[in-house]
Amino acid sequence: MKKRSYDSIVIGGGSAGLAAAAEIAGRGYHVAVIERELTLGGILNQCIHNGFGLHYFKEELTGPEYAERMIDMTAHLPGIDFFLDSAVLEVKGPRGGEPRSGAENAEGPLHNGGLVVYGISKHEGITEFTASSIVLAMGCRERNRGNIGIPGTRPAGVFTAGLAQRLVNIDGYVPGKDVVIVGSGDIGLIMARRMTWVGARVHGVVEIQPYPSGLTRNIAQCLNDFNIPLYLSHVVSEIHGSRRVEGVTIMPIEDRHEQSAKSFRLDCDTLLLSVGLVPDNELSRRLGVVLNPETGGPYVDASLMTSVPGVFACGNVLHVHDLVDWVTEESTRCGGNVCDYLAGGKTPWQGAVAAGANVKYVLPNRYAPSRKNVFYLRTLVVKNRALLRATIGGRTLLERRLPHVQPSEMVTFTLGPDAFNGAHGTAGQGGLADGRLEVSIE
């Protein structure tokens, strides 16, 4: 068994892992990136459509182009080693898997390699990596038929949209000729167009909500331009076919009630599911990282460190983003925090962050009043001219009018030391009336 030691190990070589690793290596630390595929870039490689990079690179790129930019910014850095075609089998915290308690967190970084990662590959066998810090950057996975419980038979021909996308764009295989898509998220819409372009007929996109869950431009460019019907407030209530999909029953929902009498059947040989993404936290769980049921990702403090000291998280493993640009921003910042941690900087005083009215979640879950804090939040409501408000103990730190909010579009805002002045007296003394930062949408 090979043994290797690093300052930091980044698990996952997609957009999150690359940005974090670039930042860590750029500041002179020795970092390993472990990637299970043969190529870096993660899911971007199969997203051959454009629309990426408008915020971060200020130009429109395809997924593979965005990945290439990230790789170019990272690969040449000294102090960075890539382990491709390598899976992580196990991760262990300090003292054989037992996470240290919060009190011990104050001791600072775990030097001399308190964290252990077991990687496996065909060529190297098992490698035992030890490090003082880990960045979780494993991304997310797709929800599937079982998660949404579509009744009926279990024939071949039911695919998640991302798997279908991979089969078409990377392997060159077409899942079927006559397609129905469940879910109007962006992957589903993109795949409606992609399947049409390879010669399949897309008979409809079925969305349970009364409004589409993907971007408006994708509805126009992926459905309307191809005359693909969008069934809003409808569900697939049954799958037919014993060997291969032969059709689906589609049922309208009116006033939250299923209208089975108004059901109709669409014949198809393929059903694609675009019904949501979930952070892929199996390794985190085994490491003892505490997960947030609202996001599916870890609880993190102001520096994006999880409940296990030295273990950080960024990108879609932390929460599912809608734009890769935000993944890059968040992960670069995470890499910087890892460097601060490795340098043994004293952890500043942190207060709790809570989701207030109409907010599904706010990340990170702690704030540090002495620093600049970048927050991401998702709303629970669709609203025009919404008011974003951040308060501590009844005192308003930030109020901002947003033209439009909806659950599928992430909201971001920043609070610097200026905003906290006066709200706390002197930061770091604790014991203040109520240090809880509450964020609401009104």
3-state DSSP assignment of residue 324? helix
Q: In sequence order, what are the residues at sequence separation of 6 or more whose Cβ sits closer than 8 angstroms to the Cβ of residue 227?
A: none
Q: In sequence order, what are the residues at sequence separation of 6 or more whose Cβ sits closer than 8 angstroms to the Cβ of residue 432?
A: 393, 424, 425
Residues in the chain: 442
Q: How far is the CB of 9 from other proteins (least distance, A)?
A: 15
Q: For residues 165 and 332, which CB has a smaller minimum distance to other proteins in the complex?
A: 165
Beta bridge partners of 196: none
3-state DSSP assignment of residue 402? strand
Q: How far is the CB of 128 from other proteins (least distance, A)?
A: 7
Cβ burial of 312 (10 Å; 0-12, 13-18, 19+) is buried
What is the Cα–Cα distance from 8 to 238, expressed in whole angstroms?
A: 48
Q: For residues 203 and 424, which CB has a smaller minimum distance to other proteins in the complex?
A: 203
What is the Cα–Cα distance from 161 to 49, expressed in whole angstroms?
A: 14
Q: What's the angle, vertex CA 426, arms to CA 424 and CA 429, rounded to 5?
A: 95
Q: Which residues bind other proteins (CB under 8 A)?
A: 1, 36, 85, 87, 89-90, 118, 120-126, 128, 141-142, 144-147, 149, 151-157, 159-160, 162-163, 166-168, 170-177, 197-200, 237-238, 242-244, 269-270, 282, 285
What is the Cα–Cα distance from 312 to 217, expressed in whole angstroms?
A: 35
Name the region of 24 (left: φ>0; alpha: ψ -120 to 50; beta: rest): alpha
Q: How far is the CB of 121 from other proteins (least distance, A)?
A: 5
The answer to whether 386 touches 378, Cβ cutoff 8 Å, is: no
**Cα–Cα nearest to 10, from 18, 278, 315:** 18
For 45, 60, 280, 386, 434, the CA distances from 63, given in Å and listed in that order, are 6, 10, 21, 32, 44
